Amino acid sequence: MFEASDLNNRNRKVERLWGLLFLMMTILLILPVLAILGVLIHEGGPILSMDFLFTEPKDGMTAGGIFPALVGTVWLVTVALLASVPVGVAAALYLSEYAPDNWLTRVINLAIINLAGVPSIVHALFGVGAFVLFFKFGTSILAASLTLAVMTLPVVIVATRESLQAVPQAFREACWNMGATRWQTIRHVVLPNSVSGILTGVILEVSRTAGETAPIMFTGAAFFLPFLPQSVFDQTMAMSLHLFVISTQVPGVPEALPYGVALVLICMVLAMNAISIAFRTYLRGKKKW
C-alpha cells in the first residue's frame, strides 16, 4: 500500500485551495443575478397577472398591461434573427472554410472586431441613415431589426467560426478522400457537427437584441401604440423602450409597474435562452465525437 508523500499532500492542498477560490468566484458571479431577480420578483411580482400580460397600456401608460410591447419585442427579435443568422453563418463559413490567409481576410477580421466594439447609439445613427432614410424603410420594425442585426453580427460570426474550427480536420479529410466536394463536406459533415456551437451565438444575440433600447429608439420603436403591428413596415412598441419611458418620461406611474415590466422582459429572455440551450444540449448529445 502506497502512502502519499509530502509533495503529494502539498499539491492536494494547493489544488483544494484553487478549487475553493474558483468556487467563490463563481458564487460572486451568480449572487448579483440572484439579487437582481429577487428585487424584481419582490417589487414587481404583485403586479403580474393575465390582464397585465394581455392588455394594452391605459391612462397615459400609468395603468393597463404590456401586450403591445411584448408582441413588438418578439417581432424585433425574430426579424433580427432571420436577418443576421444566415449572413453571420455564411460569413463564418467563408472565413473558416474558404478564405485564404491574406490581407483581405485580415481586414475582414479586423472589421468584425471593430464592429463588436461600436457603441449601440452609433449603430442607431447608422440605422437611421442606412435603413430609415437611404433604403426608405421608414421608422419600422424592419429598419429597427436590421439595425439590431448589424449590431449583433459579430457575435454570430465569431461563435459560428469557433464552432466550425472545433470540428476535427480529420472529418474533412475523410470526406475529401471519398470524393466529396468542399461544399458537400461542409453541408453534410461540418455544419451538422457545429450546430450546437452556432446556437451559442444565437442565444447571445437573443439576449442582447431583446434588451437594446438606443438602436430601436430612432429606427422603429414607438413611444405608445395601442394596437399590434400588421407587417414589418409598421412601427411597434418594445419592452426595453417601454421600460425606459415609464421609468423616466411618464409621471404618476405606480412604483411596481417598472419592476413588473423588467421582470417580464428578463423572464422572456430567459425562456428564449432556455429553449435554445435545451435544443443545443440535445444536438450535442447526438455527436459521435
What one-letter code names the amino acid at 211? G
Query: Which residues are CB-neighbours of 72 under 8 A, at least 6 positions away?
Result: 141, 221, 225, 228, 229, 236, 237, 238, 239
Three-class secondary structure of residue 219 per DSSP: coil
Residue ranges of domains in the chain: 6-47, 50-285
What mean pLDDT do residues 95-113 have?
Answer: 87
SS3 content of the chain, % helix, strand, coil (to 5): 75, 0, 25
The pLDDT of 108-136, averaged and rounded, is: 90
Please give the grid coordinates belonging to residue 261. 415590466
- Averaged confidence pLDDT in the chain: 88
CATH architecture classification, 50-285: Orthogonal Bundle (1.10)
For range 238-246, the mean pLDDT: 91
- pTM for this one? 0.87
C-alpha to C-alpha distance for 215 and 221, rounded to whole angstroms: 9
* For residue 289, pLDDT beyond 70: no
pLDDT the model gives residue 102: 87
Neighbouring C-alpha atoms within 13 Å toward the C-beta of 87: 15
pLDDT computed for residue 194 by the predictor = 86
Which pLDDT value is given to residue 288?
60
Q: Three-state DSSP class for 63?
A: strand
Q: Identify the pLDDT of residue 133.
A: 92
The pLDDT of residue 283 is 72
pLDDT confidence of residue 8: 81
| pLDDT digits 0-9 by tens, 205-230 | 888 888 888 899 989 888 888 788 88
pLDDT at 141 over 90: yes
pLDDT tops 60 at residue 69: yes
Largest CA distance in the chain: 81
Helix, strand or coil, per DSSP, at residue 239: helix
What's the rounded Cα separation, in Å, for the pair 112 and 157? 8
Q: Which of 4-8, 114-118, 242-246, 258-262 has the lowest average pLDDT?
A: 4-8
Instruction: Report whether pLDDT(112) > 80.
Output: yes
Residue 286 has what pLDDT?
67
pLDDT of 1 > 60? The answer is no
Integer Cα distance of 26 and 104 in angstroms: 40
Q: Which pLDDT score is estimated for 16?
A: 92
The mean per-residue pLDDT over the stretch 99-120 comes to 87
Higher-scoring residue by pLDDT: 276, 88 = 88
pLDDT tens for 159-210 read: 899 889 888 888 888 888 888 888 899 888 888 888 878 888 888 888 888 8
Return the pLDDT at 77.
Answer: 92
Q: Which helix (H) or strand (E) holds 57?
A: strand 57-58
**Which pLDDT belongs to residue 123?**
92
pLDDT band at 248 (very low <50, low <70, confident <90, very high): confident
Burial class (CB in 10 A: 0-12, 13-18, 19+), 41: middle
Query: What is the rounded CA–CA span in Å between residue 26 and residue 230?
Result: 45
For residue 174, what are the CA distances in angstroms to 98, 178, 185?
18, 6, 9
For residues 214, 262, 81, 168, the Cα torsion angle rounded to the nearest 10 degrees is 110
